[in-house]
Structure 1
Amino acid sequence: MCQINTDPMKSQVGFLDVVVPPDILDYGTSTDMVVREGSNVNFRCAASGAPTPNITWRREGGEAITLHNGQEVPTIEGPEFNLTKVNRLHMGAYLCIASNGVPPSVSKRIMLIVHFPPMIWIQNQLVGAMEGEQMTLECNSEAYPKSINYWTSEKGGIISNGAKYEPELQNNAYKVFMKLTIHSVTPSDFGSYKCVSKNSLGETDGTIKLYRIPSPSTTTTTTVTTEEVTTPSKVVPEVKSERKRQKEKKKLAQVNDIPPLPDMRGGDAPKPGRVKVEENRYETKMDRSQYSGCGASWPTRYLLVLMLTVFSV
């Protein structure tokens, strides 16, 4: 208060408001926590400052916070909050941020670690390969504390890195991606393989069976094209030719049986044998006088007989 001793006295009152930036107190604030999967967790954050700081919670990586009712929220307001039945997905860093309008704001990082025994899952439990191929077997593992991971063969021995086998591990927080590369597969490589994961809380394994795929055989295919060729039958022409020859022989035989022409100079004609006039009818032997006694002359009868013979054939 400022006062002047005059008559009358004068005075003026002033108010001083002191502000203090926020500060997070160690006492009353949660520290890093290690819990078993399925446990309940309580987060607390105590801060001082003037005016009184506001407390906000969020995850360090920006992931949503899953509450007990399944609701997912980006931030939580208040000095404390609870997580029930935590699992491996809750594992990570949580930030407690205190602010009161007086810079700077402050934060504290609280790490939540969830312990759980190993768990393995395999995408392909049955894998086929041909001899001579390079084959890779894959296996995924989750565990915390971090697990020891390795491969075993069907005989039970641990597979180490070498010219034949190449095991590989890729770690990401509590996740491990396991690979086993088999170079130039041989018949002895077919069988079962196990990926094993163990930590202080337990041990588990998964089995992958490698089976043989027959190599495609090289077969030369010969295509034979058959073409049906129709050859004219020789039987019919041969039969026709034979019939023709028989007819000619028959004709010649009939011609030979025709008596010769009589001697036009008046000599005696030789006595003919039986002459075929028409089918199944024959004349008896005749002498010259009988021939001359017919109505037609001998040359005419001779030509008539010859014509009948030809036409009958």
Structure 2
Amino acid sequence: METGNVAWLRVDTQTILTIHGHVITKNHRIGVTHSDHRTWNLHVKELRQSDRGWYMCQINTDPMKSQVGYLNVVVPPDILDTGTSTDMVVREGSNVSFQCAASGSPPPSITWRRESGEPIVLPSGEEVISADGPVLNISRVSRLHMGAYLCIASNGVPPSVSKRISLIVHFPPMVWIQNQLVGAMEGDRMTIECHSEAYPKSINYWTGDRDEIIAHSSKYEPITIENQYKIHMKLTINDVGKTDFGSYKCVSKNSLGDTDGTIKLYPITRPSTNRPKHKGKLLLNINLHLKKEGKKR
């Protein structure tokens, strides 16, 4: 560079930052260095978004010479609490709208995914693995939509960030029975089964012919297997006797309602294992008859 005072300025505010080797601004994050008074460097520590803009290097020669450069400050994405949905609890059949707000530079893009990896069902009926945009709408929510949804914000500046939003769907119990008529023999060990779905979590139990609740005992073994909102109910009856034949109900109740299903256990006659009597005598009589017929001939 030609001799002359060198100054750094902030173009948009017309603020003089440095003159030659001296810092003029009161901003402690600004510094200046040079190499043999030929190459002058402006230093900005602890960058902020407010530092983004045009900077001018000016040489006070005659005529004056200057050069400008633009400082772009990129900022990783951050998901904002304001404008972003929190966990939701809705009734089945409702419409749901998830929202996600994020800051960053450049402005982040928003992508939605289900934590389980299952597809997202859009209002159009289309199933997609991911959906773009700050708003995710789901129409006529069903229990199949229940689970965690991830709002992912990214702008090319690592790291990307995400927020987990849980969708809980409430619905009254429903019961399915595969076999409503079940046959058993006296002395058998028999298991009857039914399936139910309910949320909030349901109370599940079995009743007998007189609507009495069947408790666990040496005779009865009720078992309940739970998987989210799905319930698999089993009732094992040990050493089936005459008094065990009849109707059994599997009952499911929650705060939204209750329902039940009926299974009828009926007797089957045990097949006879007795062999025909006098089989040997019958064969002997046939042989004697054949011999007599032979003599006549």
What TM-score range do you get, normalising by the shorter chain? 0.7 to 0.9
Residue among 53, 59, 68 paired with 2:114: 59
Structure 2 match to 1:117: 172
Residue among 14, 24, 30 paired with 2:79: 24
More helix by share: 1
* CA distance in structure 1 between the aligned counterparts of 2:294 and 2:171, rounded to whole angstroms: 90
Instruction: Give the CA deviation at 1:217.
Output: 2.1
**Residue deviations 1:202-243 (CA, integer Å, cap 9, x gap):** 00000011111111223231331324213867xxxxxxxxxx
Matched residue SS, 1:13: strand
Aligned residues between the structures: 233
* CA distance in structure 2 between the aligned counterparts of 1:122 and 1:171, rounded to whole angstroms: 16
* Partner amino acid, structure 1, of 2:230: K
Structure 2 match to 1:98: 153
* Partner amino acid, structure 2, of 1:18: V
Instruction: Give the CA deviation at 1:27.
Output: 1.0
Matched residue SS, 1:157: coil
* CA distance in structure 2 between the aligned counterparts of 1:232 and 1:108, rounded to whole angstroms: 104
Structure 1 match to 2:216: 161
Gaps of 5+ in 2: 1-55
- Which of the pair has more CA radius of gyration? 1
**Residue deviations 1:100-144 (CA, integer Å, cap 9, x gap):** 011111111111111100000011111111111111111101000
Matched, 1:80 2:135: yes
* CA distance in structure 1 between the aligned counterparts of 2:196 and 2:295, rounded to whole angstroms: 83
Gaps of 5+ in 1: 234-313
Name the stretch that deviates more: 5-14 or 129-138.
Answer: 5-14
Matches within 5 A, 1:257-272: none
Structure 2 match to 1:210: 265
What is the percentage of aligned positions where both structures have the same residue?
A: 70
* CA distance in structure 2 between the aligned counterparts of 1:72 and 1:150, rounded to whole angstroms: 37
Matches within 5 A, 1:129-278: 129-222=184-277, 223=279, 224-225=282-283, 226-227=286-287, 228=289, 229-230=292-293
* CA distance in structure 2 between the aligned counterparts of 1:116 and 1:51, rounded to whole angstroms: 43
More strand by share: 2
Q: CA RMSD in A?
A: 1.3
Instruction: Give the CA deviation at 1:10.
Output: 2.0
* CA distance in structure 1 between the aligned counterparts of 2:163 and 2:64, rounded to whole angstroms: 54
Which TM-score applies when normalising by structure 1?
0.72
Structure 2 match to 1:292: none
Change (3 A) 1:190 1:9: same
Instruction: Give the CA deviation at 1:14.
Output: 1.8
Instruction: Give the CA deviation at 1:82.
Output: 1.0
Change (3 A) 1:36 1:230: same
The runs of at least 4 aligned residues of structure 1 exceeding 3 Å deviation read 230-233
Structure 2 match to 1:310: none
* CA distance in structure 2 between the aligned counterparts of 1:65 and 1:230, rounded to whole angstroms: 88
Matched residue SS, 1:159: coil
Which TM-score applies when normalising by structure 2?
0.76
Matched, 1:12 2:75: no
